Amino acid sequence: MLRHKLIHPQINAILAASGHHSTVLIADGNYPAASKRGPRAELISLNLMPGVPTCNQVLEAVLSAVPVETIQTMETETSGPYALDGDPPVWDDYRKTIKDAGIDLELEPIDKWKFYDAVSTPDHVLTIQTADQQRYANILLQIGVRMD
């Protein structure tokens, strides 16, 4: 029986086979998961209905299962139809979830196109597609090293 919060068998299997520097994308419902992923990345679709589950719920489960070294988000646009003033509200949820997991890491926003490039590498092993409807909810985790 698993002791961590993550109980999805396919996600557990992929994470168990992953190693240091492997990346996992938790994608919102608007992310083009079919075309923006690494050449060997598995796609798990958890999008049940709009808003269920959220990226933050998946983040909580994944953080309970693997060590994480970096956490990147897609930088917000400053002009155009998707522009925001300041951080998206979902990033505060992420910060709380990261802190509650006992992880001392900051979110690292990167340019949208660099984010897509980071997801398209051979190190990308998994995309978990959620139904989160919040803008800029995509979050890219780099797996770290187990120290215990």
Cα torsion 92, 98, 69, 41: sign: negative
| 91 DSSP β-pair partners | none
Average pLDDT of every residue of the chain:
95
- Whole-number Å distance between alpha carbons of 111 and 115: 6
Band (pLDDT 50/70/90 cuts) for residue 1 is low
Interstrand relation of 139-143 and 68-74 (parallel, antiparallel or unpaired): antiparallel
pLDDT 10s digits, 108-122: 999 999 999 999 999
- Which amino acid belongs to residue 112? K
pTM of the predicted model, to two decimals? 0.96
Which residues touch 113 (CB under 8 Å, ≥6 apart)?
none
Instruction: Tell me the residue length of the chain.
Output: 148
Band (pLDDT 50/70/90 cuts) for residue 27 is very high
- Whole-number Å distance between alpha carbons of 90 and 134: 7
| 142 DSSP β-pair partners | 23, 70
Inter-residue long-range contacts of 79-87, CB under 8 Å, 24+ positions, other chains counted: 82/135, 84/135, 84/136
Band (pLDDT 50/70/90 cuts) for residue 127 is very high
pLDDT (mean) for 38-54 = 96
Fold for 23-143, please state it. RbsD-like fold (3.40.1650)
pLDDT at 36 over 80: yes
| 57 DSSP β-pair partners | none
pLDDT at 35 over 80: yes
